[in-house]
Amino acid sequence: MTGVTTETPATPPVAKRVPHERTHHGDTVVDEYAWLAEKDDPDTLAYLKAENAYTDTVTAPLAGLRDTLFTETKRRTQETDLSVPSRKGDYWYYTRTVEGQQYGIYCRRAVRDGETRPPATADGAPLDGEEILLDGNALADGHDFFALGTFDVNPDGRWLAYSTDFAGSERFALRVKDLQTGEVLADEVPDTFYGTAWSGDGSTLFYLTVDEAWRPYRVWRHTVGTPASDDVIVYEERDERFWVGVELSRSEKFIFIDAHSKITSEVRVIPASNPTGEPAVIAERRQGVEYSVEHHGHRFLILHNDGAEDFALAYTSADSPGDWVPLIEHSPGTRLEGVDAFAHHLVVSLRREGLTGLRVITIGSTDPYDLEFPEPIYTVGLDANPEYNTGTIRLRYSSLVTPDSVYDYDLTTREMTLLKQKPVLGDFDPAAYEQHREWAVADDGTRVPISLVCRAGTPRDGSAPCVIYGYGSYEASMDPWFSVSRLSLLDRGVIFAVAHIRGGGEMGRRWYENGKMLAKKNTFTDFIAAARHLVQAGWTSTDKLVARGGSAGGLLMGAVANMAPDAFAGIVAQVPFVDALNTILDPSLPLTVTEWEEWGNPLDDPDVYAYMKSYTPYENLAAVDYPAILAVTSLNDTRVLYHEPAKWVARLRAVAPGGHYLLKTEMGAGHGGPSGRYDAWKEEAFINAWTLDRVGVR
């Protein structure tokens, strides 16, 4: 028996139905598509392939439009290009791309006498004296997918630790390359996670591995030149709510081991000069207290939320960590997100009133100041700043109309120098576009910010098509960003809007708290309010409005489809978390236990179970007129498993058979989709062509 039946290629696939019962808290549910979770079942693969074939057939008339959109992105992109080099020690490090090649080339060039500004070439050609450290195209040769997990040069510049994934599963093989000889050493470590840290002398490498639930939980110590079988476990986190990270401080004096759940942190430290030393705890974990650590001279800087909802900055002794001494007091409404320490300055990353910002503190001065920027809507943050003893910081700036821009900021003169703005080829003119900030009013009276961009002069009579994007989880902020491929939509009269809904972090910690756990529905009603506001304000109309979101934003897409199917002409759900209740009920699945502090624990708490069941997309499908839906997923995704959208689309076809539903599965990719830049452009062209078709624009 096959997993799908079809009469003709243009007939929607029909998945077989196999009753599977589960009972929790006295509630018995039949999940007739649970069998799709069996990845190795031939019926599962047959169903996914049939869905792909159906999607190919239905979207075949859009092939010309897809090609046009891809070509437009390609034509606007400077394909041979060079990132702004970043100095670390005696070298400038940078990445190059070459026309016709999918992946970046990782390079360095020695710093020359008297050279204080990063070198550059006008056409993105290699720098004179360049040394290629890794060529992503050579590594990817013969593979359909390629991703780097870590790229970490040791302090003296001799060893490079790097890791590769050729499946999209985010399990990486770790290797060490001798940059003096070009030799890749024999001491390979399979199945590692993101993140490494070198000892001060470069003899020792710390790395991470995951447990069966894809949780990074062990920190290992590896001595360069020895077999992986000799490696030693330095730290193991046994609480399944906690993830572990490892990094070397910018000062290169300490190795930090960070254990954190969604709401609690604990940091350990090892002197980089003594890599075999026992990790020492900076502050014991306390439920609900989050903190991060940065080394600065004789002290550790502590960014924390202990009695400080939007976080405060303190410090403690680096020699004998103890009490936390306040440095920046808590200021409600100003969310402190990070602190970066340099020899003579501190830079605090923050957000206020929905915008990102940077605050500079000069050591010995009582006059901290915030950097100012001219646009009303923008995103700013620190870029690569590996040097500790420096008077200049590198920052990155963009907006909905300003391409990604890299600046150097002189901490003494307070002068900002533009080093590079991402080229947009052709006739691109930022003045041809305009960005706006709107405010919707949610059901409970909360004002929800919306950022939007459109062609200058776009009419406000409801005639313009619009894409509204949202996420709203994990305190992740969808700050305004520039997109080359988006220009193809804007130039066709489409408005692009971002709804900064609760559950994200745009408006501070309380904004996040009011969109999680038993307040999760605020995320969905905020998005619906934003969509309806755009219609009421004349920006668009419901028959020209397409919603888009991915991952947890895909959960959002499924929820608003159920709650307000009349509000949208189409919905794009990428790697969507639409079977959230069944996933969060299964602690054996990747991420589940760590997620309980985000969504609640429906396994043990009947109130959480009932609340989640009331909004989870898969559980709440009904015989209504749904908007057209495009679901995009990846077979090797370890974050949101492919079967969630597969089950969702199968049940959509059964419950509301008159709708337009497409499922597209990347058969050799992971959570981020295709890995090569040209493949990613093609994927975006596919989605944008479908979107334009839904709103009647070509």
Q: List the catalytic residues.
A: 551, 637, 671
How far is it, in rounded angstroms, from Cα 530 to Cα 557? 13
The answer to whether 222 and 189 are in contact (CB under 8 A) is yes
* Strand bridging mode 628-634 / 570-574: parallel
- What is the β-pairing status of strands 392-398 and 379-382? antiparallel
> Cβ-count burial of 323 within 10 angstroms (0-12 exposed, 13-18 middle, 19+ buried)?
exposed
Mention every residue, 6+ apart, whose C-beta is less than 8 A from residue 477: 351, 356, 500, 504, 505, 506
Work out whether strand 545-550 and strand 570-574 pair parallel, antiparallel, or are unpaired: parallel
Sequence-ordered strand ranges (E) for 211-284: 216-223, 232-236, 243-248, 254-260, 265-271, 280-281
Q: SS3 breakdown of the chain: % helix, strand, coil, rounded to 5?
A: 20, 35, 45
Distance CA 316, CA 291 (A): 13
Q: What single letter denotes the amino acid at residue 537?
A: A
Candidates 558, 594, 595; CA nearest to 576 is: 558
Strand extents, DSSP E, 470-620 = 495-499, 545-550, 570-574
Q: Which of 179, 150, 177 is nearest to 165 (CA)?
A: 150
In which residue are the tokens 């009303």 written?
376
CA pair distance 481, 275, nearest whole angstrom: 40
SS (H, E, C) 347-382: EEEEEECCEEEEEEEECCCCCCEECCCCCCCCEEEE
Q: Amino acid identity of 171?
A: R
- In order of 187, 290, 304, 512, the CA distances from 307 in angstroms are 46, 11, 9, 17
